[in-house]
Amino acid sequence: MKLEELRDFELTESQKMTRTMARDFARKEILPNVQNWEKNAEYPHDIVKKMGELGMLGIFVPEKYGGAELDHMSYGIICEEIAYADWVSASVISVQNSLVETGILNFGTEEQKQRYLVPLAKGEMQASSALTEPSGGTDLASLETTAKRDGDYYILNGQKTFCSHANYANVFFTLASIDRNLGRKGICAFLVDGTSPGITVNPLNMSTMKRGNLGHIFLDDVRVPKENLLGEEGLGMRVVGANLSMGRFSVASRCVGQAQACLDAALKYAPERKIFGQKESEFQMVKKMVADMVVSIEAARLMVYRLGRLLDSDVGRVTSIASMTKLFASEVATQAALNSIQIHGGYGFTEEFPVGRYLLEAKSLEVGEGNSQLHRDILADWAFGVRDY
């Protein structure tokens, strides 16, 4: 019996159908094109449009707003399957669903839902999360971007960096402080239209992962209507915090997908390569690497499934479980990429095989949604009883 058949007892028929849909789309329409996109640094505009048509960009959005209205397990399955094929396409799903749309759903007005949520869910509009600043990414509460009230507007000034899909975003979900002396209590969440005067987006000069379209955003006296404030003044960190576990769940799911791609690449390559007249797959040390990958990936997947069920059961805040899952899955993905490169040898660094870029993509997910050091700190405090969720 295959591992996937053993896992199926945990999934509903609807979730199995979702997996089949996402897998077929990923393997048939995305995977065959990724290497060429990488070579030409092409952004998958057509794929983003199709993902919107399939409901992948409005997973939690109610049908009345044009969404698919699915559960968290289905979201994780979709993230895993798309990430198996392409890091960039999976990132679009993660950014659009985890923070931006869920923030609007939970804190937005009806007018904001009609103006932003409907086109975002349908894939007619694309979002970018503009949170990280040049002075630091993990410590959001110390942001330097300011928002000054001016009649019916807020005037935003500051910089954001490492903003995914920045050049193609119609709306930026961003944080700014109305009074930095208030610390977290002065931070507000805004929906900033991408065409607003005063916004400048410069691509970051990345040494790799160029297709992710990471941008550095300058906000120079950007006038944001007060109607674009998400929630109330001073609740920006609450808006972000309410979606942290979901964001980490989506990243962990993507890590499982990428780790599986690393394993499958190794399983395909090792039996075809001969060393000293023997198949590489017959060497004990190679078998050990493969066995370790199988065990760790399956463990990560089961942790992701558990987190998905917890999020669907509405048991309350699961911050520490989300940290544990994201930490483990991201490090599993990195180690799986390292093992797969080792099995491929020098060919692991060529464009002919994808495992070299898998490593850098996996490592980026160790940093995104809180780096490993942050999550270990959260988990240690949880273990010592300093925090109770």
Name the residues annotated as catalytic: 369
Give CA angle at 259 (253, 261), nearest 5°. 110
Q: Kindly tell me the burial class for residue 2, based on how many C-beta atoms sit within 10 Å of its own C-beta (0-12, 13-18, 19 or more).
A: exposed
3-state secondary structure (DSSP) of residue 151: coil
Give the residue among 198, 92, 213, 215 at the shortest CA–CA distance from 161: 215
3-state secondary structure (DSSP) of residue 193: strand
Query: CA 231, 235, 240, 244 torsion: positive or negative?
Result: negative
Pairing mode, if any, of strands 278-279 and 215-225?
unpaired
Q: Give φ, ψ of 177 to 5 degrees.
A: -105, 135
C-beta separation of 96 from 126 below 8 A? yes
Give the residue among 166, 157, 170, 174 at the shortest CA–CA distance from 203: 166
3-state secondary structure (DSSP) of residue 133: strand
Q: Which two tokens stand for residue 193?
A: 């239209």
Q: Which two tokens stand for residue 336?
A: 């799986």
Query: CA 228, 200, 236, 114 torsion: positive or negative?
Result: positive
